[in-house]
């Protein structure tokens, strides 16, 4: 007893070789899916991707330790994404970020998300006015010093202002829900953030290092400096950013590690 080695015609039970559109014996049509036989990948395991994302710290629904192989050319991550879904993270836009290959390089692109994509800085990173960054559980924005509006009136009445000091820039804490929290105007040329003894302190943020990061004016440009913090300092990317092995990304509440294998 042997199994038939070909597709068997449903009309006359003759063997029909692969690729034939009609049965050679009776002329009956062969269904489309039987005409061409191809092997599909069994899950993602058959072909190692060029890179993968590992969820280091995720929302409860998705669990931690999950990894996503990036083997297509584009991979959308988001609250309603098919490829890399984080359905319970309300800080993610429906389509939040796109992990795509450009040549041999893996790139992450912010898909116009509300809250952005944050990448862990290695040492020092340049920042501009309006940039956002994260330390511990805290989110900050780099703001310009507003124009001085304390000059005298036309009638020579002087404005009584609180004592002021020159300040090159300011750091604004952004609270969950979008409200601004702490504002700290730079004294001298820098603002330091940490758990204690800094310019902005978060004694009850357990993910903050004692001295975590600082923003400083270096010549004409601003720099974000991670002070060897335990959990890192993350800056929001503008547009897209090339990724390399060992990069860490925050997408909403999810911390992801990038592993490039190829």
Partner 1 sequence: MQKDNQDHYKFCLGCGAELPRHSSKPRSASVATPAGGAPSSGRTTNAPRAQAGRAEALASAPELEVEESAPVRSARVEPVAAVDPLPPELAPLHDDTAPCPHCGSRVPDNFRFCHVCGEDLHARASSDAPARADAPAERVSAPAVAQAPQPATVRARLVLIEPDGSEGPAFRLSGGRTLIGRSTGGIFANDAYLSPEHAEFRFEEDQLVVKDMESLNGIYIRIEPEVPIELFDGSIFRVGQEILRFEAPFAPEPPADGTQYMGSPHRGYLGRISLVIGRETTGNSHPIPPQGIHLGRERGDVVFPEDGYVSGLHCRINSEVGHVFLTDVGSSNGTFVRVSSESYVPQGTFVLMGQQLFRAEY
Q: Decide if residue 148 touches partner 1 (CB under 8 A).
A: yes
Nearest-approach distance from CB 146 to partner 1, in angstroms: 5
Maximal C-alpha separation, the chain: 110
* Token output for 19: 């690729």
Q: Among residues 213, 252, 256, 258, which is the contact residue for partner 1, using CB under 8 A?
A: 252
Nearest-approach distance from CB 65 to partner 1, in angstroms: 23
Q: Among residues 147, 197, 219, 220, which is the contact residue for partner 1, using CB under 8 A?
A: 147
Buried/exposed code over 97-133 (b: 16+ C-beta within 10 A; e: otherwise): bbbbbeeeebbbbbbebebbbbbbbeeebebeeebbb
Q: Which residues pair with 121 in a beta bridge?
A: none
Which of 138, 209 has the CB closer to partner 1? Answer: 138
Radius of gyration (Cα) for the chain, nearest Å? 28
Distance CA 252, CA 236 (A): 11
Q: Among residues 42, 162, 219, 262, which is the contact residue for partner 1, using CB under 8 A?
A: 162
Distance CA 152, CA 157 (A): 6
Tell me the window of 21-29, 57-65, 150-158, 227-235 that interacts with partner 1 (CB under 8 A): 150-158
Q: Among residues 38, 178, 197, 220, which is the contact residue for partner 1, using CB under 8 A?
A: 178
Q: 169 with 143: CB under 8 angstroms?
A: yes
Q: Decide if residue 184 touches partner 1 (CB under 8 A).
A: yes
Nearest-approach distance from CB 64 to partner 1, in angstroms: 19
Nearest-approach distance from CB 147 to partner 1, in angstroms: 7
Determine how many CB atoms are found less than 10 A away from the CB of residue 5: 8
Question: Applying CB under 8 A, which residues contact partner 1?
Answer: 79, 90-94, 113-115, 137-139, 146-150, 152-153, 155-164, 167, 170, 172-185, 252
């Amino acid at each position: 007893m042997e199994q038939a080695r070909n597709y068997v015609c449903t009309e006359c039970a003759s063997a029909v070789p692969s690729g034939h559109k009609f049965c050679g014996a009776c002329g009956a049509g062969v269904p489309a899916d039987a005409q061409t036989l191809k092997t599909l990948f069994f899950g993602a395991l058959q072909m190692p991707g060029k890179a993968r994302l590992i969820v280091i710290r995720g929302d409860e629904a998705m669990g931690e330790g999950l990894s996503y192989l990036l083997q297509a050319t584009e991979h959308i991550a988001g609250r309603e994404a098919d490829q890399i879904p984080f359905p319970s993270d309300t800080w993610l836009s429906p389509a939040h970020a796109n992990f795509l290959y450009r040549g041999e390089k893996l790139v992450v692109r912010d898909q116009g998300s509300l809250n952005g994509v944050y990448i862990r800085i290695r040492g020092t990173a340049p920042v501009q006015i309006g940039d956002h960054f994260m330390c511990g559980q805290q989110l900050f924005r780099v703001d310009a010093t507003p124009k001085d509006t304390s000059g005298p009136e036309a009638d020579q009445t002087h404005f009584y202002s609180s004592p002021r000091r020159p300040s090159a820039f300011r750091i604004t804490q952004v609270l969950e829900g979008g409200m601004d929290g702490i504002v700290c105007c730079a004294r001298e040329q820098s603002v330091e953030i940490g758990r204690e003894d800094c310019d902005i302190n978060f004694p009850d943020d357990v993910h903050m290092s004692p001295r975590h990061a600082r923003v400083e004016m270096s010549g004409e440009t601003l720099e974000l400096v991670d002070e060897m913090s335990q959990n890192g300092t993350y800056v929001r990317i503008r547009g897209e950013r090339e990724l390399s092995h060992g990069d860490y990304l925050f997408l909403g509440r999810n911390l992801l590690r990038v592993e490039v294998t190829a």
